[in-house]
Amino acid sequence: MIASIIMVWFYIVCHLEDKMASYSTNEFKAGLKVMLDNDPCAIIENEFVKPGKGQAFNRVKIRNLKTGRVIERTFKSGESLEGADVIEMEMQYLYNDGDFRHFMNNETFDQYQCDEKIVGDAGKWLKDQDSCTVMLWNDAPIGVTPANFVELQIVETDPGVRGDTSGGGGKPAKLETGAVVRVPLFVQTDEIIKVDTRTGEYISRVKE
């Protein structure tokens, strides 16, 4: 009887632990997703601080995954935080209905909608049908990251001087998604260019 109670108890304890993994300051590594002040966060940096004759701390740099804000927080060494159920998933960007942008998981065909606050800066690189990365917290989108390189058409730029291939100087060009990037003078309206979304820099022309 007692043995079976212990077994049931043990099962429950294991099960609970399974559901809410928690991580001690010693396990804080860059990229680990944890809950802090009820928001999902990612550890950026974790520094062990200990005066020779004093209390040990961990000074942790954390990014709030909902707001993008980076904060520093000090913990007593050995304290722990609950893990956050955050995953990043490759999805297809479908369309913008004016209020929300819609994304689809290409394997399960599950669709997700995000408002502009969640999409943030990524919005200016998103073209219908392009793939991007959507971050989900408890299966709800909290952030969108465009592909590192996107190919987009120029809808507006000043006519440049033909024959200029130096690439120096440059001029602004507006792309079909609304982003504005600097391009070399020889690049013209209607041309398709490759852009690095991490820096917002022009990479090359794309021949159709």
Which residues 78-97 are close enough to bind other proteins by CB under 8 A? 78
Options 13, 22, 47, 201; binder of other proteins; rule CB under 8 A: 47
Q: Rounded to the nearest whole angstrom, what is the least distance from the CB of residue 71 to other proteins in the complex?
A: 8
Question: CA of 38: how far to CAs of 13, 70, 87, in Å?
Answer: 23, 15, 17
Options 5, 15, 18, 51; binder of other proteins; rule CB under 8 A: 51
φ and ψ at residue 46, rounded to 5 degrees: -140, 115
Of 26 and 113, CB closest to other proteins: 26
Contact between 76 and 57 under an 8 Å Cβ cutoff? The reply is yes
Options 11, 21, 26, 111; binder of other proteins; rule CB under 8 A: 26
Only one of the segments 48-56, 80-88, 124-132, 150-158 lies at the binding site for other proteins (rule: CB under 8 A); that segment is 48-56
Number of residues that bind other proteins (CB under 8 A): 20
DSSP line for 149-167: EEEEEEEEE----TT----
Of 75 and 125, CB closest to other proteins: 75
Contact between 151 and 181 under an 8 Å Cβ cutoff? The reply is no
* C-alpha to C-alpha distance for 163 and 22, rounded to whole angstroms: 61
Instruction: Determine, following the binding rule CB under 8 A, whether residue 38 of this chain makes contact with other proteins.
Output: no
Only one of the segments 4-12, 76-84, 162-170, 184-192 lies at the binding site for other proteins (rule: CB under 8 A); that segment is 76-84
Q: Which amino acid is at 2?
A: I
Instruction: Determine, following the binding rule CB under 8 A, whether residue 54 of this chain makes contact with other proteins.
Output: yes
* C-alpha to C-alpha distance for 100 and 53, rounded to whole angstroms: 55
Contact between 195 and 181 under an 8 Å Cβ cutoff? The reply is yes
Instruction: Determine, following the binding rule CB under 8 A, whether residue 72 of this chain makes contact with other proteins.
Output: yes
Options 2, 15, 38, 52; binder of other proteins; rule CB under 8 A: 52
- The number of residues making up the chain comes to 208
Q: Rounded to the nearest whole angstrom, what is the least distance from the CB of residue 80 to other proteins in the complex?
A: 14
Closest CA to 81 of 136, 20, 30: 20
- Residues forming the site for other proteins (CB under 8 A): 26, 47-57, 59, 72-78
